[in-house]
Structure 1
């Protein structure tokens, strides 16, 4: 009689496959990757991988969901972690600077390939729209929480600010990917975004100057 496989074991094995797949996608992008590449990276049998994921596309969907879930959880923690409003924004921008600076060594090229080559696809296009709406919604909820706490006094609706920020960051990431960081000078552009957020959220100077604990964990926003 074969041993019973626990749900915890299944989840750990699934995450192990996803971690291996992420490394392959980082190295090769999306289009050039095959399931055999992922199988080789895991060191598992072909059947062992296919028991969890039927295709590289299914695997990639899972990675995208994992990234989005991580970002949503990070937003929820920001306002609790810092004493004042400006620190939450600074943490968010430091994280974005790190992510954009690491574009060519991250999943960003694979994500760009995945959506740019399949934006007309009946399955991918709605997912892309949903992913954008989720990103905007998560950031807007973060802003509304800051308003409720009395930290932000926005000049625009949180949804409008969130749409601008997400579109700006998406566009900047693509520019860095296609043109390179030196051409784009992404740090200067993020400084412009910092100035915009400071003005549009009407963060008091006392909040900006007040000292407080800063995260050194490198966690997602």
Structure 2
């Protein structure tokens, strides 16, 4: 596929992400995505065969962005504490952004029987997240910027608190203090 085709697919995923954020996964149709993108059904099906295919590529894009972001900054030798601060600040903002959250869509997709027909992609994504964060924490510990903690315990605390708040932000108003408390506690665990 050429650059134009890749650009079109990227635009489809961006528009679809908004649709999935507002409607969840199960209620989104290819017609909804056609309306959001302005593409005809034939134009959309030229690039994607189903809402599931689009959704899984959106999830994959999100994970790739985070992994690349950490790796590039570590390779540049940036301070681990600076990388942590930037990511936690973004997490704090995302936790209360129910408009941009895919939490409901992720829950609907991965709790359905068809998501278990193949490998559990959510579990695979969790392991990617674990690996990505573990590199950052080990990098910070090695540089004496982070306390000598159990990286997996800290990562689980952060990831499941973050995802829990993201999911709940679709169901009830989330006070700004909740993400601030979570981020503050993570910093206390890690920063000397």
Return the TM-score normalized by structure 2: 0.85
| Unaligned residue ranges in structure 1 (runs of 5+) | 1-5, 204-221
Aligned mates of 1:61, 1:43 — CA distance in 2? 21
Query: 185, 196, 218: which is aligned to 2:189?
Result: 196
How big is each residue's C-alpha offset from its partner over 1:62-110, in whole Å with a ceiling of 9 and x where there is no partner?
1000111011111123446785443332222111111112133333332
Q: Which residue, out of 118, 123, 127, partners 1:129?
A: 123
**How many Å separate the matches in 1 of 2:10 and 2:110?**
23
The structure whose Rg is larger is 1
Of residues 97, 101, 104, the one that matches 1:102 is: 97
Is 1:53 the counterpart of 2:48? The answer is yes
What is the root-mean-square deviation in Å for CA atoms of aligned residues? Answer: 2.6
165 and 124 in structure 1: CA distance in 2 versus 1, 3 angstrom threshold? farther
Q: CA deviation at 1:166?
A: 1.6
Indicate the SS of the match to 2:170.
helix
Match of 2:160 in 1: 167
Task: Confirm whether residue 68 of structure 1 aligns to residue 63 of structure 2.
Answer: yes
Q: Is the 8 A contact 1:140 1:161 kept in 2?
A: no
Residue matched to 2:133: 139
Unaligned runs of 5+ in 2: none
* Residue 10 (1) aligns with residue 27 (2): no
In structure 1, the partner of 2:146 is 152
Could you report, residue by residue, the CA deviation over 1:127-150 in whole angstroms, capped at 9, with x for unpaired residues? 111111111111001112223444
Task: Say yes or no: does 1:115 pair with 2:89.
Answer: no
Structure 2 SS opposite 1:51: helix
Q: 1:189 to 1:151 in 2, by over 3 A?
A: closer
Q: Confirm or deny that 1:87 pairs with 2:82.
A: yes
Say which SS state the counterpart of residue 103 (structure 1) adopts.
coil
- Aligned residue in 1 for 2:37: 42
Going from structure 1 to structure 2, the CA distance change for 1:84 and 1:12 (only over 3 Å counts) comes to closer
Name the TM-score, length of structure 1 as normaliser. 0.75
Whole-Å Cα distance in 2 between the matches of residues 71 and 97 of structure 1? 15
Helix, strand or coil: the match of 1:177? coil
Instruction: Report the Cα offset of residue 30 of structure 1.
Output: 1.5
